[in-house]
């Protein structure tokens, strides 16, 4: 496991346990004194409230009925004011401390969650939907925050109110106290039953909410494709289908909540009627005084109201506990060990690479060989082209070099040392990648070019990289130049400009090994020529792997590896492979024929125009 970032005051791996209550308690570390203060504030406020009802009973018996009070009405009024101030002050303090605790814990979990997701393996991200991770990082963490802010402190408030008021009732008249709590066991049992059912319903609701979030995120990401293919109606139908399912699950959850309240209200209503009736009869018979009856009536309300709301809180707590489980499911995932390795060169690598009988299979399909028996050698500074149809294993093979995935058989030797001995962080610092569809962040062009550089970068360096990538002239034509804010995914730039900014980003990184993943496949011929020039500048004196579908892209490579179904079927230079009967020769002939026909057609159009 990678070392925990020092900015975190707690490693949430320590929270993981099979018992949710234990995990929630561990999550309070660093805030336990604050939260204890919040609970203490609740207790003092409860005592003050009970004191007000006792003082009210004393006032009725001692001032209004018998005129035997030892204190004047003014003093009793001051007592009411003092108790009200104490109750309000400590209730406010309790809420403030609980709020500070809940917000602190939410920030702790949110920060850790984001950091943890950054360090999860590529395999995990391949298998997990983005919307699901967004849901767990936002909605579920907010449910945990509400648990500490309202629900857990609410349980403490209700328990304190019940115990304090029940003890006072026992002191006033023990028989009346016992009559007043007949329905309490039934209400608690009912709450526990609903708790189990609501937990399952809420988990299903959150799962569907994540599906809907993923659908929305996917649609917004691909909105240009949706519009280009006029698939708005289809996407709306898919969204409404998922939204309808969320509506049904939400309605089911709401009905569960709604069915609890009538039952609990009937039980507590019956208890209040019974308690007031028995209390009134006792007051009429002289067993208790009028003042004691008024005190009893107030205390009874603050026994039954907490118990009624206890059920509500128990039911609502299910959302916090379910969300805690959902967050912990992500945190349980092992981090990618970036810094583990027993060999760390002091200098940059040279780039000599040997693939020896490499095999690879994904964890979820270990019997399906994605790569099998891959063997070839690359000298420092050589250019290797990986050619093959979609799904042949080209990108997977390249992704083994920065250890995005671990090969399951054979060995990769880098500069005489097996690849697995190098720390991943070191390898990724030595390897630069230019993807087919480069990702640019919603930041300035300068920030995108310098992304990933852990040192101060001068403007001269940035411009030099941009010039080498043949994008400098385009950038300075923008009103803000290098400070131009790139829209989401670089929408303010053309496809060729985005590709060249990505190349500049790789140039300034100055890697020793390059991976070019079909970097010119999605641009026009004129732009492709500019990008090829930029790539030639980038590849100079660097070991380079070019992933491509077109022969024209790989003709100048020192070594061409043709893959099919995860195996090498041909290997050699362009001239060697062209002289052999096989896949390479067939692809070359087909693409040459297409290019010739295209040139003939263009020429005929030009002649017609003239």
* Tens of pLDDT, residues 183-198: 888 887 877 777 777 7
Q: Residues 268, 372: one domain?
A: no
- At residue 2, the pLDDT reads 43
In a domain, 344, yes or no: no
Query: What are the CB-based long-range contacts (under 8 Å, 24+) for 117-126?
Result: 117/330, 119/2, 119/335, 119/336, 119/338, 120/333, 120/335, 120/336, 121/333, 121/334, 121/336, 122/336, 122/399, 122/404, 122/405, 123/362, 123/363, 123/405, 124/333
The edge-to-edge listing of strands for the beta sheet with 543-548 is 431-434, 513-517, 543-548, 383-388, 559-564, 567-572
- Residue spans of the chain under pLDDT 70: 1-8, 67-69, 224, 228-229, 311, 315, 488-491, 519-531, 595, 598, 602-603, 605-610
Q: Residues 358, 438: one domain?
A: yes
In a domain, 176, yes or no: yes
Q: 12 in helix, strand or coil?
A: helix
Domains held by the chain: number:
3
Q: Residues 193, 90: one domain?
A: yes
Q: Residues 254, 138: one domain?
A: yes
- At residue 526, the pLDDT reads 60
- At residue 587, the pLDDT reads 82
Torsion of CA 189, 191, 197, 203, to 10 degrees: -140
Closest CA to 394 of 528, 204, 263, 562: 562
Residues whose CB falls within 8 Å of the CB of residue 99, separated by 6 or more in sequence, listed in order: 149
- At residue 401, the pLDDT reads 92
In a domain, 399, yes or no: yes
Q: Is the pTM of this model over 0.85?
A: no
Q: Residues 289, 396: one domain?
A: no
- At residue 1, the pLDDT reads 39
Q: Residues 130, 172: one domain?
A: yes
Could you list the residue range(s) of the whole structural domain that residue 606 is in?
A: 584-610
Closest CA to 151 of 41, 24, 330: 24
Handedness of CA 414, 416, 422, 425 (dihedral sign): negative
* CATH code, domain with 571: 3.40.50.300
In a domain, 33, yes or no: yes
- At residue 113, the pLDDT reads 92
Angle between helices 184-221 and 290-331 (to 10 degrees): 40
In a domain, 347, yes or no: no
DSSP H or E run through 385? strand 383-388
Q: Residues 41, 67: one domain?
A: yes
């Amino acid at each position: 496991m990678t070392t925990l970032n020092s900015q975190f005051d707690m490693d949430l791996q320590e929270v993981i346990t099979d018992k949710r209550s234990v995990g929630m308690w561990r999550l309070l570390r660093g805030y336990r004194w604050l939260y204890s203060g919040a609970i203490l504030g609740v207790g003092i406020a409860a005592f003050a409230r009970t004191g007000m009802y006792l003082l009210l009973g004393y006032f009725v018996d001692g001032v209004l009925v018998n005129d035997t009070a030892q204190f004047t009405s003014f003093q009793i009024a001051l007592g009411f004011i003092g108790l009200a101030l104490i109750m309000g002050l400590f209730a406010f303090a309790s809420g403030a401390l609980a709020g500070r605790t809940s917000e602190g814990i939410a920030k702790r979990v949110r920060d850790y969650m984001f950091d943890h997701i950054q360090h999860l393996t590529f395999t995990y991200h391949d298998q997990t939907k983005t919307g699901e991770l967004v849901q767990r990082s936002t909605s579920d963490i907010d449910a945990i925050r509400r648990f500490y802010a309202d629900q857990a402190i609410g349980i403490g408030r209700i328990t304190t109110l019940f115990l304090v008021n029940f003890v006072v009732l026992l002191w006033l008249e023990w028989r009346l106290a016992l009559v007043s709590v007949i329905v309490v066991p039934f209400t608690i049992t009912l709450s526990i039953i609903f708790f189990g059912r609501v937990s399952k319903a809420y988990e299903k609701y959150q799962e569907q909410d994540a599906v809907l979030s993923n659908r929305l995120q996917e649609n917004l990401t691909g909105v240009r494709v949706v519009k280009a293919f006029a698939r708005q109606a289809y996407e709306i139908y898919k969204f409404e289908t998922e939204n309808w399912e969320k509506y049904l699950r939400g309605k089911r959850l709401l009905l569960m909540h709604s069915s609890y309240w009538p039952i609990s209200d009937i039980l507590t209503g019956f208890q209040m009627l019974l308690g007031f009736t028995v209390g009134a009869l006792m007051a009429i018979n002289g067993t208790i005084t009028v003042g004691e009856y008024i005190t009893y009536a107030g205390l009874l309300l603050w026994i039954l109201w907490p118990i009624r709301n206890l059920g509500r809180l128990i039911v609502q707590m299910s959302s916090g506990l379910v969300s805690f489980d959902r967050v912990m499911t992500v945190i349980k995932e092992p981090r990618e060990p970036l810094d583990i390795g027993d060999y760390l060169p002091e200098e940059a690598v040279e780039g000599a690479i040997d693939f020896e009988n490499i095999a690879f299979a994904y964890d979820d399909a270990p019997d399906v060989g994605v790569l099998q028996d891959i063997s070839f050698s690359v000298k420092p500074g050589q250019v290797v082209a990986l050619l093959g149809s979609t799904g042949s294993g080209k990108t997977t093979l390249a992704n083994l070099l920065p250890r995005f995935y671990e090969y399951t058989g054979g060995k990769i030797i880098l500069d005489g040392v097996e690849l697995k001995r190098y720390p991943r962080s070191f390898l990724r610092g030595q390897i630069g990648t230019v993807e087919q569809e480069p990702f640019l962040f919603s930041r300035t062009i300068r920030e995108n070019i310098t992304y990933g550089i852990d040192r101060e970068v001068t403007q001269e360096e940035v411009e030099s990289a941009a010039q080498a990538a043949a994008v400098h002239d385009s950038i300075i034509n923008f009103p803000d130049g290098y400070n131009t804010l790139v829209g989401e995914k670089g929408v303010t730039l053309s496809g060729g400009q985005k590709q060249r900014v990505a190349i500049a980003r790789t140039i300034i990184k100055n890697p020793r090994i390059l991976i070019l993943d079909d970097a010119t496949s999605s641009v026009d011929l004129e732009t492709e020529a500019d990008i090829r020039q930029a790539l030639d500048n980038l590849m100079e004196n660097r070991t380079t792997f070019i992933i491509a579908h077109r022969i024209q892209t790989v003709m100048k490579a020192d070594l061409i590896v043709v893959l099919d179904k995860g195996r090498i079927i041909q290997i050699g230079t362009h001239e060697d492979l062209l002289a052999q009967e096989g896949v390479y020769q067939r692809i070359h002939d087909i693409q040459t024929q297409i290019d010739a026909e295209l040139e003939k057609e263009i020429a005929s159009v030009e002649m017609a125009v003239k």
